[in-house]
């Protein structure tokens, strides 16, 4: 059984507004993310978010063909993910962990990543780095070091794993007192590589301008 954990517990401080409740083509950003996983065929979606946000975006009264549940988050992102994993129903074999602020993910992209995870046990959406990279000092002045972008990827979500593998990874993270910012990093603590999958436009809403760009992409797709 394939389920999803959508992480939406952040405060949106960098955005200056609640980006997860902001409208994207007529529906809240977080609702767009939830809808994509329901349409992709997930048997259950667990949303990690405050109760106030759950009501604000309309998920408390929404109707879905599969269970869509809410749990509270933790102090760190990895704590929020673990809270979501603990709420998954019995029989879950694969889990997608997704950032709720990536509303452009499509059901087709989710299924492509899931298929890669079924082949290898671990897969994540990502994109090859195409920008010129520079390292700078604390004053934002460039250093002469050359930074190659060859084989460099920018990580995205969803990141999809065999549930047993991800649970073992987070147990290792806890034992070693590591801080990880995504599930690929957690699984790497076990020495397990993750297959990277390109799925098209999948930007994260971080600043107000990102929301405007996401709206343009959404309307172009329609």
pLDDT (tens digit per residue) in 136-152: 999 999 999 888 888 99
How much is the average pLDDT of 174-181?
A: 90
Q: Grade residue 15 by pLDDT with cuts at 50, 70 and 90.
A: low
Q: 12-16, 63-67, 134-138, 146-150: lowest mean pLDDT where?
A: 12-16
d(CA 3, CA 37): 8
User: Percent of the chain, pLDDT > 70?
Assistant: 96
Average pLDDT, the chain: 92
d(CA 167, CA 47): 18
pLDDT at 222: 63
Name 65's Cβ contacts closer than 8 Å, sequence gap at least 6.
Answer: 38
Q: Grade residue 16 by pLDDT with cuts at 50, 70 and 90.
A: low
Measured CA to CA in angstroms, residue 5 lies from 47, 80, 169, 173, 175 at distances of 6, 10, 16, 19, 23
């Amino acid at each position: 059984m394939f389920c999803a954990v959508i992480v939406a517990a952040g405060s949106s401080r960098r955005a200056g507004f609640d980006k997860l409740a902001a409208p994207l083509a007529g529906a809240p950003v977080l609702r767009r993310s939830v809808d994509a996983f329901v349409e992709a065929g997930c048997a259950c979606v667990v949303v990690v978010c405050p109760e106030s946000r759950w009501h604000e975006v309309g998920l408390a009264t929404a109707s879905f063909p599969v269970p869509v549940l809410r749990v509270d988050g933790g102090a760190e992102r990895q704590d929020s993910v673990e809270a979501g994993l603990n709420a998954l129903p019995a029989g879950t074999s694969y889990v997608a962990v997704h950032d709720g602020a990536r509303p452009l993910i499509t059901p087709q992209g989710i299924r492509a990543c899931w298929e890669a995870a079924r082949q290898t046990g671990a897969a994540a959406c990502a994109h090859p780095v195409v920008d010129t990279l520079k390292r700078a000092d604390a004053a934002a002045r460039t250093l002469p070091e050359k930074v190659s972008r060859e084989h460099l990827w920018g990580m995205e979500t969803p990141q999809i794993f065999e549930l047993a593998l991800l649970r073992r990874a987070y147990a290792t993270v806890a034992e070693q007192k590591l801080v990880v910012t995504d599930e690929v990093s957690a699984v790497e603590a076990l020495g397990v590589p993750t297959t990277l999958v390109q799925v098209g436009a999948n930007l994260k809403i971080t600043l107000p301008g990102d929301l405007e760009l996401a709206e343009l992409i959404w309307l172009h797709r329609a």
